[in-house]
Amino acid sequence: MKPADRLVSLDAFRGATIAAMLLVNNPGSWGSVYPPLLHAPWHGWTFTDLIFPGFLWIVGVSLTLSTARRVEAGADRAELFRHAVKRSAIIFALGIFLAAFPFGLLSAHQFSLGTLRIPGVLQRIALCYLAASAIFFYTGWRGQLAWAIALLVGYWALLKFVPVPGFGAGVLEPNGNLAWWIDSRVLAGHTWSGAPAPGFDPEGIPSTLPAIATVLCGTLAGYWLRGGRDGGKTSAGLVVGGLVLLALGAVCDGVLPINKNLWTSSYVVFMAGWSTLVFGIFHWFVDVRGWRAWAQPFVWYGMNALALFVLAGVVGRLLGLIRWSDDAGATVTLKGWIYAHGFTPWLSPLNASLAFAVSFVLVFLALAWALWRRKWFIKV
């Protein structure tokens, strides 16, 4: 997309999403976190559960806005897809890098290829972007809508009707659901250790299918943005569309519960509703009304979203792995020392933990501003 055609609201919305990711990923203490800043344990949703699907939705919008004109002009689709494959491979590799870092080079870090987590946030982004690109390059909006519906209905049918050995069909608990059964066998030893059930992974194989539909919801919103309507009508359409999707997702919740870990079909629809609604509001304020000052910090984040997310992952891990023994012989981490000396003496446990997370976001905001000011935009 040419700079003149850029939607500042999309950069701001992307930046707000990344800032929210950093906020919820970096509390001072996981034992003291306000409930909205934690994922729902299983069924249901919190503010935190809005963030990841929001970013995937943005990936879809960006795909349409940056590529649709070239496709319509007759660009070589195979070449476009090869570029998408390259980008996906880089993003996937960055995800594996974060999972492996710092490769056992610090004494506190145990590294083994035999237990390395293969799925992850960046890995899911890479796979969903690649699959959505393939669909996008060879179909129009009707085809993309059909693919999204097929993925959502098909995934619902898999969870509901395919029997799991020893459990039967339709089990939606952490142990016994189809996604858990597949992940625990195909990815045995390579899933997230903090998952709701051993062997399960919230970014695992089956749940990636409906996540592709999340990206396609974004591509469809991108077509609406390219429709040539008056700016106010575009914003209003996004808001109305978001409200319709929220209502539809709430209805679907009665058939298949909203669940981030399983990335259920109702979760896809409901969270696409939130993304469409909130972005419609961003679009109205930033691009239609021109009220941009409040959104500028988010734009700084949004212009280097991937680089800041990766760097934050590196820094967050180092804060927990750099450690030493104090005078009493107790082990102290760098994060623990900063938290104990800079936050807990002055605030309640919940507020100290939140203040640490906010400070983490502000430090990276300063870095985002510095990169933006120098016009250093790191892309893949």
Q: How far apart are CA 355 and CA 363, in angstroms?
A: 12
| Domain-wise residue ranges, the chain | 3-373
Which residue has tokens 């800032």? 19
Q: How far apart are CA 156 and CA 210, in angstroms?
A: 9
pLDDT at 116 over 80: yes
Q: DSSP for 96-161?
A: HHHHHTTTT-STT----TTT-----HHHHHHHHHHHHHHHHHH--HHHHHHHHHHHHHHHHHHHHH
pLDDT in tens, 198-217: 999 999 999 999 999 999 99
CB atoms within 10 A of CB 298: 25
pLDDT in tens, 25-71: 999 999 999 999 999 999 999 999 999 999 999 999 999 998 888 88
Name the nearest CA neighbour of 207 among 191, 225, 227.
191
Q: How far apart are CA 181 and CA 371, in angstroms?
A: 44
Residue type, 362: L
pTM greater than 0.85 (yes/no): yes
Cα 269 to Cα 146, 172, 246: the distances in Å are 14, 18, 7
CB atoms within 10 A of CB 226: 16
The chain-wide mean pLDDT, for the chain, equals 94
Length of the chain: 380
DSSP state of 163: P
Q: DSSP for 33-92?
A: --GGGS--SSBB--GGGGHHHHHHHHHHHHHHHHHHHHHHTT--HHHHHHHHHHHHHHHH
pLDDT in tens, 238-295: 999 999 999 999 999 999 999 999 999 999 999 999 999 999 999 999 999 999 999 9
pLDDT at residue 5, as a whole number: 57
Q: Name the residue with higher pLDDT: 6 or 276.
A: 276
